[in-house]
């Protein structure tokens, strides 16, 4: 039910904010601001995405927590990009927040603490086993 309410309320709030902002700065300026955030967002996400992909490639698979953090960073960068490309001030605010490393790390640490790594702790890849 909460997702349904969010699904309906976010676009309504975005339209309301479009109208309020356009009252203060003008309609054309509001549209240009939305387009500008999308362009800047796509540039930043492309750059950050490349860094994240490089980090995932260089991570050791022996530490699943580091791998999850790198994958989580990548996931949140993608979500950030989608939100920055979506027209709206609320989505831009959330997208910019997720773009920065500190909020992403905070959310990832909360999620990782909820996960249990007991199944990974006993997993070892040993090539010297007999067939």
131, part of any domain: no
Range of 47's domain? 2-116
- On whether the CB atoms of residues 50 and 42 are closer than 8 A, the answer is no
Identify which has the larger pLDDT, 74 or 25: 25
Distance of CA 118 to the CA centre of its chain: 27
Confidence label for 131 from pLDDT (cuts 50, 70 and 90)? very low
What pLDDT, on a 0 to 100 scale, did the predictor assign at position 63? 72
Domain assignment present for residue 39? The answer is yes
Give the integer Cα–Cα distance in Å for 106 and 94: 14
* The pLDDT value given to residue 48: 79
Six-digit token string for 38: 């999308």
- Read off the pLDDT band of 118 (50, 70, 90): very low
CA atoms within 13 Å, Cβ hemisphere of 101: 6
Report if residue 104 sits inside a domain.
yes
Q: Tell me if 130 is assigned to some domain.
A: no
| 43-100 tens-digit pLDDT | 888 887 788 788 777 876 677 777 777 888 888 888 888 888 888 899 999 998 988 8
pLDDT level of residue 129 (50, 70, 90 thresholds): low
Question: What distances in angstroms separate CA 46 from CA 13, 59, 82, 123, one per listed residue?
Answer: 28, 20, 12, 35
Domain total of the chain: 1
> N- to C-terminal Cα distance for the chain?
53
For residues 110 and 98, give the distance between their C-alpha atoms in angstroms, rounded to a whole number: 14
Domain presence at residue 121:
no
Residue at 123 is within a domain: no
């Amino acid at each position: 039910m909460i997702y349904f309410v969010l699904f309906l309320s976010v676009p309504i709030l975005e339209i309301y904010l479009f109208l309020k902002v356009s009252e203060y700065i003008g309609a054309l300026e509001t549209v240009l601001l939305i387009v500008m955030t999308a362009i800047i967002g796509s540039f930043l996400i492309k750059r950050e995405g490349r860094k994240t992909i490089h980090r995932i490639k260089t991570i050791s698979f022996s530490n699943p927590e580091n791998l999850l953090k790198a994958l989580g960073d990548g996931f949140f960068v993608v979500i950030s990009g989608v939100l920055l490309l979506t027209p709206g001030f609320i989505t831009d605010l959330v997208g910019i927040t997720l773009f920065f490393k500190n909020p992403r790390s905070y959310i990832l640490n909360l999620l990782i603490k909820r996960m249990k790594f007991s199944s990974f702790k006993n997993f070892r890849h040993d090539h010297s086993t007999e067939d």
